[in-house]
Structures are given as C-alpha cells and as structure tokens.
Amino acid sequence: MGEILVKNKDIVVPGEELASGMDFLPSFGTYRDKDKILASRLGLVSIDGKIIRIIPLSGKYNPRRGDTIIGKIEDVSYSGWRVDTNSAYPAMLSMKDATSEFIQRGSDLTQYFDLDDYVVAKIINVTSQKLIDLTTRGPGLRKLTGGRVIEVNTNKVPRIIGKQGSMVHMIKQATDCKIVVGQNGLLWILGEPKSELIAIEAIRKIENESHLSGLTERIKDFLEKATGRKIEEKMAEKGEQNGLS
Amino acid sequence: MAYPKRLDGRKFNETREIEAKAGVIKRADGSAMFRIGKTVAYAAVYGPRNLYPKFLQNPREGIVRVNYAMMPFSSKGERVRPGPSRRSKEISMVTEKALLPVLHLEEFPNAVVDVFIELPQTDAGTRCAGICAASIALADAGIPMKDLVAAVSVGRVDEQVLVDLNYDEEAFDGKVADVPLAVVQRTGHISLLQMDGEIEKGQLINAIKLGQETLKKVFEAQKKALKEKYHTEGGEE
C-alpha cells in the first residue's frame, strides 16, 4: 500500500523521500527509484490527488512554449534578431515573426528593434536543444520604450501576477504605473518616478514574503500607506485566494 | 608512539563542530557556507548559463565547472599564492567528479553550471568542506539533483582509526593516513575516495564504515541549512 511521507507545502530537499508504494505518480521535480518517489529539487511539495510534484523556490528560468517574456536584443543579423531571455539560452526573433509590415530584403533591421531594446515577446517554440523562437506579433507584444526593467526570481512570477492578474492589477491601480510581467523574471515598469519606486518596493515585498499567508492583505496595506490612496475591497478579496500553483 | 587520546579531546568517531548555512551570497544563483571546526568553505553557484567558448559545449547535457581556491590568508601564516596550482586544479577536478553522479544535467544541453569554492580559513579537510558547501549551494540554486553529497575525511593516526583529521593530526609524527571520502546520501555510494599516507586494508575498511556512519550527521546539517533558509525568511511555510 502506498503512503505519503510528507505534508502538502512542506519544504523538501533533493533526495528526500516523498512517498512509497506504486500508488502515486512522480511529476515535476521528483523521480521514482524502485517503489519510492523522491525529490530532485529544493521546493514545496504539492500533492494533487495521485500526482506529486515540487514547486521550486529557486532556479533560473526554463524557457517553455507559450510563455510571454521580456527579452533584450543582443544582436541584429541579416534576417532577424538574437534576444537575451534571462535564461541559459538566447532566443531568435525572425523577421517574419517580428512585425506584420513588409520588410524590404536587405533593409536595416535596427529601425524595428535596435541593440539593447527590450521587447515583450512570446515563445513560439523550444526545441530539445533549447533553440528558442520568439514572436512579437500578437496582442500586447511590442517594443518597450521608456520605463525601467527589474529582475525578480522567476519562481515568484505567479505570485506577482496573482490569481487572474489580481496582484499586479492592484499595484497598477495603486501606483498608476504601466507594468508588464515576463515569465522569465523580468518586469517592465513605467510611471511617475516616485510611483515606479513604490511599485518596485511592493514587488520586492511580494518576492520576499510570497510563502507567508496573508500576502495580499499586507501588500494592500503597504500600497495604501505608500500612496495614501484607498484600494477597492473587491480587488483584495480576489487576490487572497491565490494558491501557490 | 601510540595515539590513545586525540589532541583536541574529541572522540575518535566525533567530527569537529559543524555549521552550515544556505544563501549566504545574495547575488549568486545559489550559495552556501560550511564550517567544520576551523575549516570554513564558501560555495557560490551560477547558472545554468550560456557557455562559451563554443567548443566546450556538450549538446547531450550541461557541464559543471568547479573552481576550488584557498584564500591567500587562509593558511597558517604562510601566504597561499592565489591562482590555479597543481593542487587546487586537482581538487577542483575531484570535487566536480564527486558531485556529478547526483546532478541531472540533461535538462540543459550546451549550458554550464559554475561552482566556485573559496576557503577563507583552513585547518585540514578543505576538499571535504568544499564538497559539502557545493552540494548545499547546488540545491539552493535549484539545480535538479537526485540527492545530496557530503564528505568527511577519515584515516588513521598511528594504530587508531578516526574521522575528520585536523591539521595537527595530519602532521602527527608517526604513521598517518588521510582519506577524504564523499558519499551520496541515500545510496551510500562513494563518489570520492583519495588517500595520502599509508594504511592497512582492514583499517581502510573500518575507516570507510566509520566515515559513512559519521556522514549521517553531516547530511542532517545540510538539510537543516536548506530548510532553515526558507523558515527564517518566511516564518511559516
């Protein structure tokens, strides 16, 4: 008979036994050795029915198809751009995926994206060798001008976004900043310099305290104190239901 | 000359005082401090990250680079010349080989994980302390790994088999053997075994058994360090 040896949301270290018996299935961050399921990463245990997985607390961004990321143009080539993705691998943004405009053969590509420009892009494909293709054609995908880019722990991005975007919406509302959150841990913020700083401070607070309960409430208090503005109750309630998953 | 009692009064199967801490270097992707007695090791992990020059890349799996270094002031008054030496290159290599069996590197082809081990203070057993620190730092960096690795030195002083020799014991005037031993936690597999000195077969077998037993304590310290990082930062889980 199978048996779970840890509690949900326990912190586990690599090599720790999570379950015994064949009744459970190892998922992300775990592996099976004979009749045992073991952790292969540092993180929080998540038991969902028969499936055991680990929610990592640290680690670099692992590019996945469909993710929206913020990238920095590293190089401009003949037929596209190379983009730094804040992961171990650079991505390619080809000419035809960059814009719906017609680009004359051999024309200067820097008029679209120049070196050191930041772009919001979507990952179209990742191969087994981690060659990444990006697109900037789609709603919300564009070049970022002005503002500032900050880096956060990629594993905390879901908490910064909140359930259905509630957390980031709250920050936007309180500070009047435009914010774009990339799955790769880069965030772009544009607003009044003072409110940009408040937004950054709020994001750092989320990053550091994301595994404490009552997070939304504390962020709300912080934002209200910092901006001197009242935040609607409805928003805060919605955020409180945030699961870690 | 016999060795009835250890110079620092420890039991023969007793290690020096162990202290471990994860996340000590904030800018690194993962880091750890490991102290055993007067030997202190810091490890910082960066990556997985892009690897250049390109000919070093391995399309089948990621690679690990370990750099072991003693700080210039870390020895007993003699300045340790910084930079790679014959000794530090060897230790970097064996440390890498000691850690490799537990790492899942196939998840990031062509990339590299860099591990830097620095020793600000040394009193024998540096490569073992380095391996212990590196193992914590790799886990802290979120690198997928099967298990933890810990290391301790075992050996003999005169006719006595013992664990965790300090510098005075290594320099004992008589027959001495210093055997650094690294073990994978769950399986008990040995991933590093070197020797300096002379030892008989029976003594070596006893020493290794003693070491494997002692390492259980070290593994506990490593696990505690990793879990504590999130408990102190976050309070509750």
Task: Look at A59-73, A215-229, B85-99 and tell me which has the smallest mean pLDDT.
Answer: A215-229
Residue in chain B nearest A9 by alpha carbon: B237
Residue in chain A nearest B48 by alpha carbon: A88
Residues of A in contact with B63 (CB under 8 A): none
Query: Average pLDDT in the B187-211 region?
Result: 95
CATH of the domain at B222: 3.30.230.70
Given an 8 Å threshold on Cβ–Cβ distance, is B109 in contact with A129? yes
Given an 8 Å threshold on Cβ–Cβ distance, is B48 in contact with A42? no
B57 lies in some domain: yes
Q: Map out the domains of chain A as residue ranges.
A: 3-56, 68-144, 148-240
Domain count, chain B: 1
Supply the angle between the helices B126-140 and B201-234 in degrees, to the nearest 10. Answer: 40
List, in order, residues 6 or more apart from B229 with CB less than 8 Å away: B21, B22, B23, B140
The per-residue pLDDT of chain B, averaged, comes to 93
Handedness of CA B145, B146, B150, B155 (dihedral sign): negative
B106 touches chain A (CB under 8 A): no
Cβ neighbours of A165 (radius 10 Å):
14
Residue carrying structure tokens 């919406």: A169
How many angstroms away from the CA of A103 is the closest CA of chain B? 31
Query: Average pLDDT in the A104-122 region?
Result: 92
Of B102, B227, B237, the CB nearest to A211: B237
Query: Average pLDDT in the B24-44 region?
Result: 96
Residues of A in contact with B111 (CB under 8 A): 88-89, 130
List, in order, residues 6 or more apart from A175 with CB less than 8 Å away: A191, A195, A196, A198, A199, A202, A223, A227
Given an 8 Å threshold on Cβ–Cβ distance, is B108 in contact with A41? no
CATH architecture, domain A3-56? Beta Barrel (2.40)
How many angstroms away from the CA of B24 is the closest CA of chain A? 14
Residue in chain A nearest B62 by alpha carbon: A88
Rounded Cα–Cα distance for residues A157 and A102 (Å): 35
CATH architecture, domain A148-240? 2-Layer Sandwich (3.30)
Look at residue A245 in the predicted model and tell me its pLDDT: 33
Options 3.40.720.10, 2.40.50.140, 3.40.640.10, 3.40.50.360; CATH of A68-144: 2.40.50.140
Look at residue B13 in the predicted model and tell me its pLDDT: 93
Decide: pTM greater than 0.90.
yes
B98 lies in some domain: yes
Of B29, B185, B230, the CB nearest to A60: B29
Look at residue B236 in the predicted model and tell me its pLDDT: 39
Look at residue A2 in the predicted model and tell me its pLDDT: 77
Given an 8 Å threshold on Cβ–Cβ distance, is B236 in contact with A89? no
Given an 8 Å threshold on Cβ–Cβ distance, is A129 in contact with B110? yes
Residue carrying structure tokens 């270094």: B69
